[in-house]
Amino acid sequence: METRDGTGRTYDVVLFGATGFVGELTARYLAAHAPTTCRWALAGRSRERLEALRDRLAAEHPRCADLPLVTADATDAGSMRELAASSRVVASTVGPYVWYGEPLVAACAEAGTDYVDLTGEPEFVDLMYVRHDARARETGARIVHACGFDSVPHDLGVYFTVTRLPEGVPLAVDGFVRSNAFFSGGTFASAMTAMGRGRQTLRAARERRLHEPRLVGRRARAPLGAPRFSRETGTWALPLPTLDAGVVARSAAALPRYGPDFRYRHYAAVRALPMAVGGTAAMGALFALAQVPPARRWLMDRYEAGQGPDEERRARSWFTVRFVGEGGGRRVFTEVSGGDPGYDETAKMLAESALCLAFDPLPETAGQVTTAVAMGDALLERLSRSGIRFRVADSR
């Protein structure tokens, strides 16, 4: 088995799905920020599209003119094994992951290759844990899902908050998310797929609970909160049943720094009550339509994968996640903020996660782990340097 320092591997990082909307943004970020010593490559199904992307990158960064290209197909297990064996870290933007993601995860777990992706699909994350965590632990592979806006700001934001609270006491953190951003066709397809697979998602979660070791002597939980007005943020707080809260809870279960009894609640923050009511109704209608296959297909056809907001619209986009943490008689208010969350900042998060795994001194971990567990302070520092802001707003 090749060692983690890259012996026997052709590349340090391979970006799979490089010609998709977020894939190209990630490739642009790597072209501008990967160290000159980094051996990285673009991977995807179409050699022609990869060559066209390389030409666009080389026009801005001449050193990319000879960037290696790897032709690989997510539906071909042999192709995924070759891809995994060639690199120390593989970053994948190819979704919906529940349809296309498993062969690459399986290949990375078998080859001892670190893996990062952008999934926000709880079913996929749970199934990959059940099927491939044990083998990844044996080979030393770090399988790190949700390395974009799902769920880096929330996972690292809570980690940042917890480290500002007393140790060894019960802790509670609430997170409040605000943004004005749009989404791409690929993101919409993943969201509709996840909403339309409620029964499968519940089944995968139950199966994971059977395989996951029980936490002894500590407790970590992420209950779904109730809608309420948050005096701390001056907004209406609507519970968000997304992957993020589960990721935070798994970080808390793995890291004793979160205390003996940890609780996290995850909310969307809305300024005006009519917007809160309207947003809730719209999400309910979308969820209902996602349960009907013809309606789901019709909606997904309206916004094709590979499409997304243009550069001007992304430049006007922003996000903030505010956290209120309490424990041991202390209360702290923190905030994570940045620009366009779904695309520009997500590309940054994915690229920096891959580079962090490839080059930074990190805790010894293996198997399916979260960003806080696998990378913690190192990734937080990288993202801070790249323009994503982590700050303490107040403490009492």
In the predicted structure, residue 227 carries a pLDDT above the cut 60: yes
* Joined tokens for residue 40: 């990285």
Assign 3 a pLDDT band (cuts: 50, 70, 90). very low
Lowest mean pLDDT among 265-274, 301-310, 376-385: 301-310
- Structure-model confidence comparison of residues 225 and 378, the more confident one: 378
Give residue 272's pLDDT: 52
**Backbone torsions φ then ψ of 324, nearest 5 degrees:** -120, 115
CATH match of 11-148+345-381 with 3.20.20.190:
no
| DSSP structural state of residue 213 | P
Assign 182 a pLDDT band (cuts: 50, 70, 90). low
In the predicted structure, residue 49 carries a pLDDT above the cut 50: yes
Q: Which residue, among 169, 175, 190, has the nearest Cα to 94 in the 3D structure?
A: 190
Give residue 291's pLDDT: 55
- The dihedral built from the CA positions of residue 67, 27, 77 and 136, taken in this order, carries a sign that is positive
User: CA-CA distance, 198 to 159, in Å (whole number)?
Assistant: 29
In the predicted structure, residue 342 carries a pLDDT above the cut 90: no
Element (H or E) spanning 284, and its range?
helix 273-290
In the block, residue with structure tokens 């982590």 = 390
User: Do the beta carbons of residue 127 and residue 102 sit within 8 Å?
Assistant: yes
In the predicted structure, residue 271 carries a pLDDT above the cut 60: yes
Beta strand 235-239 pairing with 319-327:
unpaired
Q: What is the mean pLDDT of residues 290-300?
A: 51
In the block, residue with structure tokens 């990319």 = 64
Assign 183 a pLDDT band (cuts: 50, 70, 90). low
115-151 residue pLDDT tens: 999 999 999 999 999 999 999 999 999 999 999 999 9
Q: Which residue, among 68, 116, 124, 128, has the nearest Cα to 92 in the 3D structure?
A: 116
In the block, residue with structure tokens 């309910």 = 284
**Helices within 166-264 (DSSP H only):** 185-195, 198-211, 243-254
Reading phi first (left if > 0) and then psi (alpha if -120 to 50, else beta), residue 261 is in beta
Q: What is the mean pLDDT of residues 323-340?
A: 96
Assign 184 a pLDDT band (cuts: 50, 70, 90). very low
67-105 residue pLDDT tens: 999 999 999 999 999 999 999 999 999 988 999 999 999
Q: What is the DSSP string of 70-110?
A: EE--TT-HHHHHHHHHHEEEEEE---SHHHHTHHHHHHHHH
Element (H or E) spanning 129, and its range?
helix 122-139
Q: What is the DSSP string of 223-239?
A: PPPPPEEETTTTEEEEE
**Mean pLDDT, the chain, whole residue set:** 88
Using only C-alpha atoms, the chain has a radius of gyration, in whole angstroms, of 20
Lowest mean pLDDT among 147-151, 311-315, 362-366: 311-315
Residue type at position 186: G
**Backbone torsions φ then ψ of 342, nearest 5 degrees:** -80, -20
- Residue 102's contacts (CB-CB under 8 Å, 6 or more residues apart) are 124, 127, 128, 131
Beta strand 219-221 pairing with 261-270:
parallel
Assign 273 a pLDDT band (cuts: 50, 70, 90). low
User: CA-CA distance, 334 to 318, in Å (whole number)?
Assistant: 17
Lowest mean pLDDT among 231-245, 247-261, 362-376: 231-245
